Amino acid sequence: SHFASNMPSSLKNAVVSDLRIGFQNFVQQTRPVPCDVVTGAVPQWLRNSALYRTAPGIYDYQVKDSEKQQSIHHWFDGLGTMHQFHIRDDGSVWYHNKLTAEGALADLQTGRQPINFGQPHDPCVTIFGKVAAVINTVFNDKPTAIETNNLNVTLSVLPTSEPNTLAIKSDFNCLQFVDADTFETKKFCTYDTYDKRLDGMISAAHEEYDPLTQTYFNLNIDRMGKHTGVFSLDRDGSVREATINVPAARPSSYIHSFSSTTKYLVVMAWPCFANMLKVLFHHNYAAGLTWQPEKQTLFYVVDRATMTHVATYESTQAFFCFHTINAFDDGDDIVLDLVHHPDSSIINQLNVKTIVGGQGTLDASQVARFRLQAVSMATTTTPFRKVDRPLLPTQGVSVELPTINERFRHSPNYRFVYGASSNRGASMWDSVVKVDMATGATLRWDAGGDGLFPGEPIFVPHPMQDDEDDGVLLSVVLDTHA
């Protein structure tokens, strides 16, 4: 089925070219409006449900008392918005959205330059001013108000006393709880609300979740990278944390996601290292990242039962990853599936000018399968056990933003992965693919030609069927011709 949201005419009639329309300031629509039916109909079993999305939505803003308009340079720094597609009982789809990063926008409009992901720092700021900012950030006991953080990556239903609440997250240790209907902010907090030990600066935007035990897992990395921990968060809010034994002098890695099985947590530290002093100096996380492939990718294995770091493995060829897919136990081995990048250049490929200007193409990221052998025989000390080069079942087929049928999370019998794909050498994903991990076969859905760009697909299984691929995919598609 295809549905088109009824956006205001001021946006529909804007004269833009190709992808630029996706990086204009969004138009706020807090009152639900019906979507036009283009083709098909929503399945009966999917009715009375809702698709929630969080995404960057503001890229240009005006500094107060200044005639100069400022622009946001990296996709990840666009100011956060919430979106809901409500599928009603009659099969109609109603849409509304809201800016959720009001505090971040107000902060930017004062002229302040907070730490962000990829936004260049103002060259007019003096060296002395930058050094003073670093000292202030490292030693100040009263950090910038948490309400000015820009959260725009993922949504979770985390333990909270507030009913009907969603948590918006990013790669920093910050949570924004919003009302699931109105998107009004209820509170900002950090993970140390659950346990005072969880006071690090960095957490992964994508936590791991075990649907059987209803347990969440995430990272706790301090601002200077001296402590790397992984913690569990139960539905009642109780916390356990494991400390990872990072090799001496190895810097902290930029980790957007990690993996879990029914027995283990696996944190992969690719050699995309974050120099936190550079991050604080430039107020720009990407400016502090360096790619050092000679240091390889490490796999830290944590036993879930005891929450102890029990094994470390080392790759034979360095790689980078934004998004893991699934993992499962196979006897004494761990099998890991993830989206494999040869290096970290994808980070710079997601600059707004690069995307909208067609100045480059996305990395040929591929689904990859790793096997960590004989976990009970491995240790956390050097020399680390080597991990063979991965199996790449879809040679030549790019995949990113992966999803699976969550009923098959941690299952050795799972087969299917869905994701966005770049089929025509575009600077943005232009199709959706289905990957059969057993055979390597792929199926591709093209959104309809040039100018149509699907977002991350979400798999919704049929509630009355057991087949892994019996369900529907929901994807928000950018139509640049609208």
Sign, CA torsion 253/258/261/262: positive
Beta bridge partners of 82: 54, 98
Please give the structure tokens belonging to residue 330.
């196979």
Query: What is the C-alpha separation between 33 and 27, in angstroms, rounded?
Result: 13
Look-up: residue for tokens 């019996």? 470
Please report, in angstroms and rounded to a whole number, the separation of the first and last CA atoms in the chain: 18
User: Do 100 and 185 touch, CB atoms closer than 8 A?
Assistant: yes
Please give the structure tokens belonging to residue 43.
């399945």
Query: What is the C-alpha separation between 37 and 40, in angstroms, rounded?
Result: 7
173: closest CA among 113, 107, 195, 456? 195
323 annotated ligand-binding residue: yes
322: closest CA among 251, 399, 424? 399
76: closest CA among 354, 425, 417, 469? 354
- b/e for 358-377, b at 16 or more Cβ within 10 A? eeeebbebbbbbbebbebee
Please give the structure tokens belonging to residue 278.
């550079």
Query: What is the C-alpha separation between 253 and 269, in angstroms, rounded?
Result: 6
459: closest CA among 402, 404, 420, 401? 404
Query: What is the C-alpha separation between 206 and 156, in angstroms, rounded?
Result: 9
CA dist 301 → 106, 373, 451 (Å): 42, 12, 43
CA dist 139 → 130, 246, 281 (Å): 14, 24, 14
User: Do 346 and 365 touch, CB atoms closer than 8 A?
Assistant: yes
CA dist 474 → 45, 53, 86, 448, 455 (Å): 14, 11, 12, 16, 9
Query: What is the C-alpha separation between 473 and 459, in angstroms, rounded?
Result: 5
Binding residues for Fe cation: 206, 256, 323
Annotated binding-site ranges: 206, 256, 323
